[in-house]
Structure 1
Amino acid sequence: MSSSVHVKEATLITPSDPTPIQVLPLSALDSQLFLRFTIEYLLVYKPSRHVLDKLATVSRIKAALGRALVPYYPLAGRVRARTNGSAGLEVVCRAQGAAFIQAASDLTAEEFEGAPRHNTQWRKLLSLQVTDVLKGAPPLVVQLTWLSDGSATLGVGFNHCLCDGIGSAEFLNLFAELATGKQKFTQLNRQVWNRYLMDPNIYNKRIYQQNHPEFNKVADLCNFNSRFSQLAPTSVTFNRSRVNELKKLLTYTQSSCTSFEVLSAHIWKSWATSLNLPPNQTVKLLFTINIRNRVKPSLPIGYYGNGFVLGCAQSCARDLVEKGLGYAVGLVKRAKDRVDDEYVREVVESVSSNGTSPDSVGVLIMSQWSKLGLEKIDIGMGRPVEVGPVCCDRYCILLPVYDQKDSVKVNVAVPTSAVDKYLYLLNNTTTIGT
């Protein structure tokens, strides 16, 4: 089945009003080595109207993008390494512009309902692929692609150094409200920069009291990364009933866990089991934890920089595979509970002083997009019927499901040799122990 994409227009959209010309420093968390990539969203729309005025729609979306870039003017700048000799990054704000692309494809909306046939099948739906975010590329890329059945996709790429999932989603919701005329001008000024809040305090150096396993390398007992040379995309939906089935497998003392804790533990356990790892291989689940209300004082409303750290659940493969679900749930829960203000400050100082970064051996990274509000982004064609990443890779992403508030779609690519076992274990919620 063909899936060609033809670019019809590529241009730079600058802020619609004058914006400050300045150089803004990014925080220690923003400057982390492992964040120097692009967050790439793909939203699929099926307009209810049979005939949509494409010319008017494109004009409206471009105008909304220009307006949204006024309060979010750093997204129209360019990211670079600091030039004063200090570590970290900065953004040069001269209204250089965000990239806007209009394209057409012979794909249809129905083809996005499951996993792609291969992990890069939808790559051209965000045609400007930024491989090095420090080489002068626009930190924001927006591509509207018209599909053959009258539907459309919106591919959006954000330089992760400038914002995290929460910050990028706040921008997209403002952009969408402007595109549909629902945004009041008085609400355009809630954006907060203040990146110094996530910098180390040079007058209050701390002695690290806590272990930070997310940054510790583990022994590679099985040539781990070579297992991921050929990947098979997977997409499995869990509704409330299926999550409750998992919770019923836990003991009474474990039953107070959240849906995220039990689902992430089940995914991690299924993933590790399917890989047939050596019993002594250390495996980790790294997942994002929002710290906006975990630090003291809390980060201000409207802070759109990177406001998260990585929680880390860790086990040897034998225990994770052989012990019940409750064991994995406990590890996830403890990883969340230990993230407090002191923990965050230690991470900030660590990444600032020595460039600490997570390793990939034994690691499954999970990101929770299901709570960002991406399913509400209406750019004038209704709410998206599908939300996901542009490319499906070994990072596990939890996604919202159209018109199913309590459902979560689990999107991850696993080695082709393990895919059948992984899917069997993930879908089997009745025979795993506690």
Structure 2
Amino acid sequence: MTSLARVKEAVVVTPSEPTPSCVLSLSAVDSQLFLRFTIEYLLVYSTRPNTNQSATATHVKEALAKALVPYYPLAGRVRPKPDGSSLEVVCRAQGAVFIEAVSDRAVSEFQNAPRYVTQWRKLLSLQVADVLKGAPPLVVQLTWLKDGAAALGVGFNHCICDGIGSAEFLNTFADLAAGKHGLGEFRHKPVWDRHLMDPQPKSIITPRHQNHPEFNSVPDLCGFMNRFDNERLSPTSVIFNKRYITELKSLALSMSRLGSESNFTSFEVLSGHVWRSWARALNLPSNQILKLLFSVNVRQRVKPSLPDGYYGNAFVLGCAQSSAKDLAEKGLGYAAGLVKRAKERVGEEYVRGVVESVSGESMAIPDAVGVLIVSQWSRLGLDRVDFGMGRPVHVGPICSDRYCLFLPVDDDDDDDGGQGESVKVMVAVPTSAVDKYELLVNSPYS
């Protein structure tokens, strides 16, 4: 399979109406060192009869200009503050980038994981290497596939928005393109208010010291970092339907020490199962400390809660931790329980402790040794993004890497009656471990 995508047009799109000219501060959470990259989405749409490609591209481009009016910071440019304490956005209506392209791919080629991690790279042709060097914080590429289907690649500067915020923007943008709403008709208007995720004055709150294991270093006993840097990574994807997830929940509960009144969520059992399978496939030393990091939305976990429409980074990392030996031998109930307890630790004081840790001179960053990061895209609403071409039949990343992504699945053909419960898990693992990982992740009782 080739990787060709030919660019027909690449233009800068500015807001369709005048927007404020100003400099906006990003929060301490937005400014974290590990968020200075681009979130890259790939949405694939099936062939629709009588599609006028030229008209569709024009509607998408015009809708982008309209969406940039309320979301005008996405037409700005991110830079460090002069004192280096955090980041800010210079808003001068500089614009986002829109690209139209054509490709020799077909929609059916996206049903499975790519054969290598960068195979779909050209579906977002503008790759931003440094988000602080004046690059546009938003890039949109509409690529027409050979069978009349379409792929939409979107890149967001992660410093400006998190997954929830970017998905809200995409649904606004898509509804404008499809003619479903006008600019003044949306239920939640975008809210900036980034000061809400900054450290608070000590007179307001003084968090008690809490352990934040995501920031703590652990010994690398097995050349973990070198292995992931030097060995070729192979993308994998496995679909878990409703029946399989229910089976995992029952298995985890039967093996756990939780009381009978406690239950596991789908996220907890899937995370625990994938983490165990990944760790066992890597054949790590029994005393190697491993961590599972995952984002926890804190919009309703801080006081006061963040306002509807807040699209900045409003998450902290939950951290489950175990030795490789315990993770392998103690079973799914143990792993799911670690995830559950890591989620439960995230309250008001925990969040404020993280904000303090990543602020100012300390600028704490997560340790990478022994780490698997899970990101739950399946609940963002990306599967509802309809530009007038129907809902996407595939949602995923542009490039598959070490992050483990939980992706939504088109359940029309699901054997459980299309209840929208299926989850696709995509992660890239070292080539030498692929076969064992896929065997383990498909065998919950092993």
- Asked if Structure 1 and Structure 2 have the same fold, meaning a TM-score greater than 0.5 normalized by the shorter chain, the answer is yes
Say whether 1:279 aligns with 2:290.
no
User: CA contact under 8 A between 1:285 and 1:364: conserved in structure 2?
Assistant: yes
User: CA contact under 8 A between 2:252 and 2:269: conserved in structure 1?
Assistant: no
CA distance in 2, matches of 1:267, 1:340: 26
2:436 to 397, 421, 431: 421
CA distance in 1, matches of 2:172, 2:47: 20
| Deviation, structure 1 residue 184 | 3.6
CA distance in 2, matches of 1:161, 1:428: 38
Which residue of 2 is the match for residue 126 of structure 1? 124
| Deviation, structure 1 residue 210 | 1.3
Percent identical across equivalent pairs?
66
CA distance in 1, matches of 2:65, 2:47: 23
2:399 to 391, 408, 419: 391
| Deviation, structure 1 residue 202 | 3.0
Query: CA offsets per residue over residues 147-192 of structure 1, 9 Å max, x none?
Result: 1111110000000000000000000000000001111433357110
1:114-193 aligned at under 5 Å gives the runs: 114-188=112-186, 190-193=189-192
| Deviation, structure 1 residue 203 | 3.3
User: CA contact under 8 A between 2:207 and 2:349: conserved in structure 1?
Assistant: no
CA distance in 1, matches of 2:56, 2:252: 50
| Deviation, structure 1 residue 35 | 0.2
1:184-333 aligned at under 5 Å gives the runs: 184-188=182-186, 190-204=189-203, 206=206, 208-228=208-228, 229-251=231-253, 253=259, 256-333=263-340
Letter in 2 for 1:415: P
Query: CA offsets per residue over residues 316-370 of structure 1, 9 Å max, x none?
Result: 1100011111111110000000100000000001100311001211000000000
CA distance in 2, matches of 1:176, 1:86: 36
2:371 to 340, 357, 363: 363
Query: Tell me, which stretches of 5 or more residues in structure 1 are unaligned?
Result: none
User: CA contact under 8 A between 1:279 and 1:317: conserved in structure 2?
Assistant: yes
CA distance in 2, matches of 1:260, 1:2: 35
User: CA contact under 8 A between 1:13 and 1:100: conserved in structure 2?
Assistant: yes
Q: SS of 1:67's equivalent? A: helix
CA distance in 2, matches of 1:292, 1:275: 36
Letter in 1 for 2:426: N
User: CA contact under 8 A between 1:76 and 1:139: conserved in structure 2?
Assistant: yes
What TM-score, normalized to structure 2? Answer: 0.94
| Deviation, structure 1 residue 380 | 1.2
Say whether 1:36 aligns with 2:39.
no
User: CA contact under 8 A between 1:99 and 1:140: conserved in structure 2?
Assistant: yes
Which residue of 2 is the match for residue 113 of structure 1? 111
Query: CA offsets per residue over residues 224-267 of structure 1, 9 Å max, x none?
Result: 01222310100100011001111121335376110100010000
| Deviation, structure 1 residue 207 | 5.2
User: CA contact under 8 A between 2:240 and 2:422: conserved in structure 1?
Assistant: yes
Query: CA offsets per residue over residues 387-431 of structure 1, 9 Å max, x none?
Result: 0000000100000001341000001000001000000000012x2
Which residue of 2 is the match for residue 376 of structure 1? 384
Which deviates more, 15-24 or 184-193?
Answer: 184-193
Q: SS of 2:359's equivalent? A: helix
CA distance in 2, matches of 1:251, 1:40: 36
CA distance in 2, matches of 1:262, 1:250: 7
User: CA contact under 8 A between 1:47 and 1:382: conserved in structure 2?
Assistant: no
CA distance in 2, matches of 1:93, 1:425: 49
Say whether 1:412 aligns with 2:427.
yes
| Deviation, structure 1 residue 208 | 4.2
User: CA contact under 8 A between 2:207 and 2:352: conserved in structure 1?
Assistant: no
What TM-score, normalized to structure 1? Answer: 0.97
User: CA contact under 8 A between 1:288 and 1:311: conserved in structure 2?
Assistant: yes
1:42-81 aligned at under 5 Å gives the runs: 42-49=42-49, 51-81=50-80
Q: SS of 1:92's equivalent? A: strand
Q: SS of 1:286's equivalent? A: strand
Root-mean-square deviation (Å): 1.2
Which residue of 1 is the match for residue 414 of structure 2? none
User: CA contact under 8 A between 2:215 and 2:367: conserved in structure 1?
Assistant: yes
Which residue of 1 is the match for residue 93 of structure 2? 95
CA distance in 2, matches of 1:120, 1:416: 15
Distance 1:377 1:207, change over 3 A: closer
CA distance in 2, matches of 1:326, 1:365: 20
Q: SS of 2:438's equivalent? A: helix
CA distance in 2, matches of 1:145, 1:312: 38
**What is the aligned length?**
429
Q: SS of 1:48's equivalent? A: coil
Query: CA offsets per residue over residues 73-117 of structure 1, 9 Å max, x none?
Result: 00000000012x150000000000000001111000000000001
